[in-house]
Structure 1
Amino acid sequence: MKNIKVAFILEFSDGWIGGINYYKNLLDIIIENSDLNITPVLVVPSDFEDNIIEIFSGINILKTKVLKKWSFFWLMNKFFIKIFHKGYWLESLLVKNKIDVVSHVGYDLCLEKVIQMPWIPDFQHKRLPYMFSKKELENRDKNFYEMSKNGKFVILSSNDAKKDFEACFPQFINKAKVLQFVVPFENIQYDRKLLREKYGINGDFFFIPNQFWKHKNHRVVVEALALLRKLNIIVVCSGNTEDYRNRSYFYELMEYVKKERLEENFMVLGVIPYTDVKALMLECKALINPSLFEGWSTVVEEAKSIGKRIILSDLDVHKEQNPIGAIYFNRFDRKELASIMKKVWFEEDSVYMNLMGLAQESLIKRKRDEALMYRTILEDCLGTKELER
């Protein structure tokens, strides 16, 4: 089986936790399935943050000034793209290092000799345009169009996203490739008592490990808690409290929490170590994802991998992910959510103990399926058919 050398260009900061975890999980699955002969290479700016590089230990990393903002080489590459529509400087580097495909591109690299395959995680700006400024809407439309036009194929994270892709770019629908990512969940060791003391958590609790962005819809959970006030149900949240598109959102949410006198029921931990996030997932009564929109929910994939009960908003993509034992609610209906939370709160934990065993069995297959699908997509890119379909 021919070895395929794939480059991933990383230019983001450690603020994009979801992006870091996505690439980490995908690369781990590629390495784990070494028999499929895919060699990943990370191409990063020469001044890329060391703490992120450490996360990808064991992966070949290529540092370059072509990606370092405002360096001479970065400016020259931008100049060639602007004037000649050619990413000459970056392409020369890729050719020199014998890269076959640049995968999961976030913008058109203007390459001629190396295949580029963009990734569009979602079309949130089409589903929830009021969450974006006019300039952001225009930029996303332009960027997605250029990537779709010039990419060999376009990776999408769900069939739900593929429907949006077809609605936006019907002329490029034959380029659409769905790669449903899996989130492995490594066994971790933690001290339950110390963990709970660290965050001031006593007894049962629901857990929402989502960023505090407006579309994540924390508000409906607080409204449900207000209806359940007498039951003293606890919801613990982790994640970044800043929404760059809605600067006042978190403040307004917490003002509502204060107004309803739910400060002890709605606990916000902010950004915490990922190992603690995983420990709290294992400890909680159930996870909740009340989101108004998802491309392919990481939280849902984590729940599937550990066999954790999860309460989900009724998004088509949540149903496509189809976690065992999930309960869905109308994402705008606080009464329905409150009723479900009450039901789950009083259920015996033993009722769902079998979910963990089922999760461990299915995780092995899901990871292999993702690796096989990715190899198939790469072969389609290169026009080869070595893998049995």
Structure 2
Amino acid sequence: MITFAVPPIGGKGWFGGWMYMQNLVRALAGGDATDIETVLFIGPDRFENPEIRLLADLPRTRVVSDPAFDETGLRCNVGWTLATGRNAAVLGAYNREKVDVALDPALYLGWRSEIPSIAWIPDFQHRHMPHMFSRGAYWKRDLGFRAQIGSAAAVMLSSEDAERDCLEFYPAAKGRTEVARFAVPVSDWPDADAAWARLRQEGIPEDFIFLPNQLWQHKNHGLAIAAAALLARRGSRRIILATGHGHDPRFPDYPDALKAQIRASGAEANFRLMGSVDHALVQAMMIGANALLNSSRFEGWSTTVEEGKSVATPLLLSDLRVHREQAPDAVFFGTDDAEALANAIDVAAPRSLASIRASLKSAASAGVTRQSEFAAKVAQIIRKAAHGALERRAL
């Protein structure tokens, strides 16, 4: 049995990372890798989270609470790790639980780590959008990636697009990159009737476009608002509903700027900024929407797009290389082309309850296949890292 450690990823500041962590643990538990036990390490500050407690009931899965994984503690270890070559607190927890391989999502274990790591890098946004980062934040991120890649047994990426970036920007990763496209399990999501009932309960109209992205500047909400303003001038009653929580530290006034744009452009009737809502409502909206919209200027492998695929909701996506890789059958528009987006929204066909039921049924088997492929690929990467470590020790 190979014991595989997963540390905390994301949280309130990065919901996509938090979902990736849970989906990874669920995928390994539901896959065929009976030789791998997953141990999720969580700090006491988040150990009582109901989502985390549920993961402990999965097959071949344990959840361990350790102070080394508190959010504040994790952020403070980097300098000491670079100086000593070992993240002593984290490695101590891993050794107590007899970990063989550890996931490294920007949790640097150190160049003297005795436990092989799999570096997971979601994207290379700072390289493509350096203007979004202060000089210090840019170099902190870049040097962190170099440290991860330099000491990792493997570098796991979520798309071929990200793999191309990795090899271009960090050639030292050559020969160690692996692409594992993550999938989103929706077996515990509501069915069409329950989703429809929840939307009616919340007073959400039947004819809406759904934009579920965190309130970060690069998510390009402004384009969607501009498209909504065009729809308003055309007399369209179609509405974009946007959910999202968190704030962008690079632009803390972003929500206020969006609200001002909505008022100034006359888009109030066609764009509603709902803010943070519970994930059960997000699921219902994802299922019941006429289309899922992602207008982002940059993505790694979008969780919201993956969720839309998993419930067969039509997709309206910004024309990014990774979006075309993730959902080649989507409708695409330029990241600055509000008219093209408005036209795409205009022609998105309304969906009835019956059509949503049929879509969910048709999507189920494809979703299970993607989850199985993701689990199998991650298991392969874990085995390779574990066996490589054993071979090095034998030498």
- TM-score, normalised by the number of residues in structure 2: 0.88
Q: Is the 8 A contact 2:10 2:16 kept in 1?
A: no
**1 CA distance for matches of 2:337 and 2:289?**
23
Q: What is the match of residue 387 of structure 1? A: none
Q: Closer, same or farther in 2 for the Cα pair 1:148/1:201, shift >3 Å? A: same
CA separation of 1:169/1:115 partners in 2, compared to 1, >3 Å: closer, same or farther? same
The aligned counterpart of 1:263 is 268
For structure 1, list consecutive stretches of 5 or more residues without a partner in the other structure: 385-389
Match of 1:99 in 2: 99
SS in 2 for 1:188: coil
Supply the distance in 1 between the matched residues of 2:129 and 2:160 (Cα, whole angstroms).
18
Contact 1:285–1:349, Cα closer than 8 Å, also in 2:
no
Q: CA deviation at 1:18?
A: 1.5
SS of the residue corresponding to residue 296 of structure 1 reads coil
Partner residue of 1:370?
374
**Could you tell me whether the CA contact under 8 Å between 1:108 and 1:146 is conserved in 2?**
yes
Q: 1:222 Cα shift? A: 1.3
Aligned residue in 1 for 2:237: 232
Rounded Cα–Cα distance in structure 1 between residues aligned with 2:154 and 2:46: 28
**8 Å Cα contact 1:121/1:157 also seen in 2:** yes
Which whole-Å CA distance do the structure 2 matches of 1:234 and 1:163 have between them?
37
Map of 2:393 onto structure 1: none
CA distance in structure 2 between the aligned counterparts of 1:228 and 1:70, rounded to whole angstroms: 45
Identity %: 29
Give the whole-Å Cα distance in 2 for the aligned partners of 1:78 and 1:124.
21
1:272-351 → structure 2 map (5 Å cutoff): 272-322=277-327, 325-345=329-349
Q: Hey, what's the Cα distance between the residues in 2 that align with 1:13 and 1:346? A: 34
Where does residue 219 of structure 2 map in the other structure?
A: 216
Q: Quickly say closer, same or farther: Cα 1:249–1:372, change in 2 above 3 A.
A: same
Deviation of the 1:38 alpha carbon: 1.5
Structure 1 counterpart of 2:28, from 24, 27, 30: 30
Residues 33 and 376, structure 2, Cα contact 8 Å, conserved in 1 = no
Query: Could you tell me how far apart the structure 2 residues matched to 1:379 and 1:11 are?
Result: 22
Whole-angstrom distance in 2 between the partners of 1:74 and 1:253: 31
Separation (CA, whole Å) in 1 of partners of 2:69 and 2:333: 44
Of residues 113-122 and 98-107 in structure 1, the stretch that sits farther from structure 2 once superposed is: 98-107
Alpha carbons of 1:352 and 1:327: their partners in 2 closer, same or farther (altered >3 Å)? farther
Classify 1:293/1:98 alpha carbon distance in 2 versus 1 (closer, same or farther; 3 Å): same
Say whether the 8 Å CA contact 2:28–2:379 is kept in structure 1. Answer: no
- State the AA in 1 paired with 2:216: W
Query: How far is the alpha carbon of 1:107 from its aligned partner?
Result: 3.0
Letter in 2 for 1:20: W
Q: Select between 281-290 and 12-21 the one with higher mean Cα deviation.
A: 12-21
**Pick aligned residue for 1:4 from 2, 7, 30:** 2
Unpaired segments ≥5 residues, structure 2: 389-395
Q: Deviations over 1:215-258 (max 9, x none)?
A: 11111111112222111211111111622211122211211110
**CA separation of 1:318 and 1:354: change in aligned 2, threshold 3 A:** farther
1:57 correspondence with 2:56: yes
Q: In the TM superposition, what is the alpha-carbon distance from 1:17 to its structure 2 partner?
A: 1.9
User: 1:150 and 2:154 equivalent?
Assistant: no
* Contact 1:286–1:308 (Cα < 8 Å) also in 2: yes
Structure 2: distance between partners of 1:92 and 1:191 = 45
8 Å CA contact 1:309, 1:352 repeated in 2: no
Aligned-residue offset at 1:360: 1.3
Decide whether the 8 Å contact of 2:87 with 2:108 is kept in 1: no
Task: Report the CA distance shift for 1:337/1:353 in structure 2 as closer, same or farther (over 3 A).
Answer: farther
Count of aligned residue pairs for this structure pair: 378
Separation of aligned partners in 1, 2:267 and 2:169: 42
Answer yes or no: is the 8 Å Cα contact 1:11–1:45 preserved in 2. no
Rounded Cα–Cα distance in structure 1 between residues aligned with 2:190 and 2:353: 20
**In structure 2, what is the Cα distance between the partners aligned to 1:74 and 1:279?**
35
> In 2, are the aligned partners of 1:67 and 1:74 still within 8 Å (CA)?
no
- Check conservation: 2:4, 2:103, Cα contact below 8 A: yes
* CA drift at 1:70: 7.7
Paired residues of 1:29 and 1:371 also in contact (CA < 8 A): yes
Equivalence for 1:114: 115
Q: Which amino acid aligns with 1:282?
A: I
Question: 1:87 maps to what in 2?
Answer: 87
